[in-house]
Amino acid sequence: MDRRTFIKLTAITGTSATLASCGNPENQLIRFVPAEDIVPGIAVWKPGVCPLCSAGCGLTVRVMDADAEVVRDGQAGVVRIAAAKKLEGAPDHPVNHGGLCARGQAAIQIAYHPDRITQPLRRAGARGEGRYEAVSWEDALGEIVSRLDALESAGNQRAVAYVAGSGRGYRSALVRLFLSRYGAPGPMAYQLFGDEVLRRANALSFGREQLPTFDLANARYVLSFGADFLGTWNSPVAQSVGYGLMRQGRPGIRGAFTQVESRMSQTGASADEWVPIKPGTEGVLALGLAHLIMTARLHPAAAAGRAGALIDGWSTGLATYTPQEVERVTGVAAARVERLARQFGDTRPAVAMVAGPPLAHSNALFTALAVNALNALVGAAEQPGGLFFTPQIDVAAAMKISGPVASPAPAIERLAAEGLSGTSATQLLFVDGANPVFTTPRAWRVREAFEKIPYIASFGSFLDETSILADLILPDHSFLESWTEALPESGAVEAVASVAPPVMRPLHQTRATPDVLLEVGRLLRRPLELPWQTFDELLGASLADLPSASGFGAWTDAQETGVWSGTLPAGLAVAEIADASPAPAPVAFAAPEFDGAADEYPFHFLPYSSNAFLDGSLAHLPWLQEMPDPLTSAMWSSWIEINPATAERLGIGTGDLVEVASAHGTLRTGVVISPGIAPDLVAMPAGQGHRTFTRYASGRGESPVDLLAPMTEAATGALAWAATRVRVTRVGPPDGRLILFAAGMREHLEEHR
């Protein structure tokens, strides 16, 4: 081919390609008059609150002009709006100090998600089919009001159930108040990787039913039992900031860090020493350390006070927890136990933390109490370099509510069981920011129970496994379009309230759920006694009594900066829980119980909170789908992690397709061989395996929840999600479902063949 022909061919190809890609001209959209004054091309930064987890980090949102396609009075058109374009951490926020995790960065995709629900919808097809028709807000609210009125006139208010995500702030207080004023049971707050056990343990040991705040910046030694505190647990950004200061913030001092866990987490990968341990025996190691510290007379047993008294045998020095006995139970060598005890007892300040898998066994409360006692023994509680409890605002007192704020809430598994057996008939279910059909063990049969409920209303912004069962969807605003607030449970030494006004006008025909609840309360035949017209009125009234640094009032300050922080006046703080009397019986170690016989199901199964999706609620954000996992580099997929020796024994290679089976379910997925995992353990990230959750997550990967046994923690009833045993069988060679960063599976395997 000569040059002339080549150019001709290129021209022809180019023209035909252009022709092929040119469709009909777009319909000319009309342009609406913008509702606000916007200087084009100039960015302004507004405060916000990150909605993705309960840490309550402050945001600063870059807002600039943009054209948005909207519908006004049934007419489609374009309007210039001030649109949020980028999220960053708020520099002066007492929790995140300007930091923001990758999940928070991706939160902006919630607002502009192509599969967002844009208007109220009524079910048009069979339940679960996903066929919906548009309905006006007036009709939708009318439907809810008439349902609630009918139940009320029948005296059947207790047939209303409300399932919510986590939340300790004013929004969830409003939900509780709405339900209690109506006469319904309180909201069910279920979380797959919840921290109920640790909260209960802290209430018993320290009189605070909340998660602790760690003063890592001043710590010299941190001993963590399974807590993924740099990745997904508690307040990861606050803890990462503190961790950075602990390692590099003090000239000449580098705090040491040991991680005890059976599968190396992102946090474990940062540790100086990684101590693998038999699942469910972490409490024994903690008491073994306490025994040696007491024996060496580094700290007296009495120093642990109330926390020590909760442990059986504490006052006599835990004589049975000798290093040899600890080695027998936990698998950690006696010499190593002694060395860790010396390090923990000698270094001041030192602090221990526990969370995650150790608190997902049948004996979890014992484990948490043991670690608390160890902390109390070395004087870590409320001391610099130790652990603190962030003062909490008493929400009911701040809202000036008289009468009961909340009726007791049933556990979701009980609601499901009673619904299926017919002993309680829930008539109306509200779903708000939770997806229990996806996150509860299949053995609880939550989906079947929900299918039997005559009427379900969802406030969801996306169609997921739970909201697809809904008869009516009343989509909430995104967090950028509504008043947002959070009362961080931990992460700061002083009390914090994050509050921010809407960053931009609503893009769609959505309404803020708190405002919807207030309106429904007004529309009922017997209107509920809720003294606010809108949610921001509630927030303003609640923040009014807090001290203000500027003199303009805490409410004005918070709106401007996105946060209030300071010392709580008496009467507005949650009080410390007094010692129970009579004192609770001391607890002793009980071997963890596992579901499945060891000979049939030889492996412990460890689901873990995904660094990208947490429990799966963020799998719909494509930025997080394409974010490589920090330890395996896998993306857009799910996998199990398995020890190299085990893999060799079973003849499994990287990427191979395996079947993982428990007594409760089976799934097939790819394999990542990881040296950071015990030989008798397989681990799997949660988050993928959605059947219905937008175009990005639907049908992608598998969910470890499908295998979970309905095991519970003995004392608290919390789900023991690490107490399932499984077997692993190789099914076939890699089939492309495991995607590793920068390596197509095929090339990767050919390289390693």
Question: Which positions touch other proteins (CB under 8 A)?
Answer: 9, 12-13, 16-23, 25-26, 28, 30-34, 39-42, 69, 71-72, 77, 79, 114-119, 121, 129-134, 463, 468, 508-509, 689-695, 698-702, 736-737
Q: How far apart are CA 489 and CA 207, in angstroms?
A: 15
Q: How far apart are CA 90 and CA 710, in angstroms?
A: 41
At its nearest, how many Å lie between other proteins and the CB of residue 501?
23
Q: Tokens 């097809």 identify what position?
A: 125
Asked if residue 319 lies in contact with residue 313, where contact means CB atoms within 8 angstroms, the answer is: yes
Nearer to other proteins, 220 or 737 (CB): 737
Q: How far apart are CA 463 and CA 633, in angstroms?
A: 29
Q: Which residues make Cβ contacts (< 8 Å) with residue 537, sequence separation at least 6?
A: none
Nearer to other proteins, 448 or 735 (CB): 735
Nearer to other proteins, 33 or 585 (CB): 33
Tokens (6 digits) for 737: 């479902």
> In what helix (H) or strand (E) does residue 346 lie, and over which residues does it extend?
helix 334-346
Nearer to other proteins, 92 or 115 (CB): 115
Q: Which residues of 238-270 are buried (b: 16+ CB within 10 A; e: fewer)?
A: bbbbbbebbbebeeeeebbbbbbbbbbbbbbeb
At its nearest, how many Å lie between other proteins and the CB of residue 18?
6
Q: How far apart are CA 690 and CA 687, in angstroms?
A: 8
Nearer to other proteins, 24 or 423 (CB): 24
Q: Tokens 């040696």 identify what position?
A: 292
At its nearest, how many Å lie between other proteins and the CB of residue 286?
41
**CA distances from residue 18 to 5, 385, 704 in whole angstroms, order as listed:** 20, 65, 47
Nearer to other proteins, 39 or 591 (CB): 39
State yes or no: cis peptide before 582, omega within 30 of 0: yes
**Helices 282-295 and 323-330, packing angle to 10 deg:** 170
At its nearest, how many Å lie between other proteins and the CB of residue 30?
6
Q: Which residues make Cβ contacts (< 8 Å) with residue 22, sequence separation at least 6?
A: none
Nearer to other proteins, 34 or 313 (CB): 34
Nearer to other proteins, 23 or 251 (CB): 23
Q: Tokens 């030889």 identify what position?
A: 602
At its nearest, how many Å lie between other proteins and the CB of residue 262?
28
Tokens (6 digits) for 712: 């519970």
At its nearest, how many Å lie between other proteins and the CB of residue 150?
27
Nearer to other proteins, 717 or 736 (CB): 736
Asked if residue 95 lies in contact with residue 488, where contact means CB atoms within 8 angstroms, the answer is: yes
Asked if residue 136 lies in contact with residue 277, where contact means CB atoms within 8 angstroms, the answer is: no
- Name the burial class of residue 306, with classes exposed (0-12), middle (13-18) and buried (19+) by CB atoms within 10 angstroms of its CB: middle
Q: What's at 691, amino acid-wise? A: R
Strand-pairing partners, residue 667, are: 660
Asked if residue 544 lies in contact with residue 153, where contact means CB atoms within 8 angstroms, the answer is: no
Nearer to other proteins, 143 or 327 (CB): 143
| End-to-end C-alpha distance for the chain, whole angstroms | 41
> In what helix (H) or strand (E) does residue 329 lie, and over which residues does it extend?
helix 323-330
At its nearest, how many Å lie between other proteins and the CB of residue 703?
10
Tokens (6 digits) for 77: 């058109």
At its nearest, how many Å lie between other proteins and the CB of residue 124?
9
At its nearest, how many Å lie between other proteins and the CB of residue 171?
25
Q: Tokens 């069910």 identify what position?
A: 188
At its nearest, how many Å lie between other proteins and the CB of residue 65?
8
Give the rounded distance of the alpha carbon of 509 from its chain centre: 28
At its nearest, how many Å lie between other proteins and the CB of residue 611?
21
At its nearest, how many Å lie between other proteins and the CB of residue 85?
15
Nearer to other proteins, 118 or 166 (CB): 118
Q: Tokens 């120093």 identify what position?
A: 303
Nearer to other proteins, 28 or 423 (CB): 28
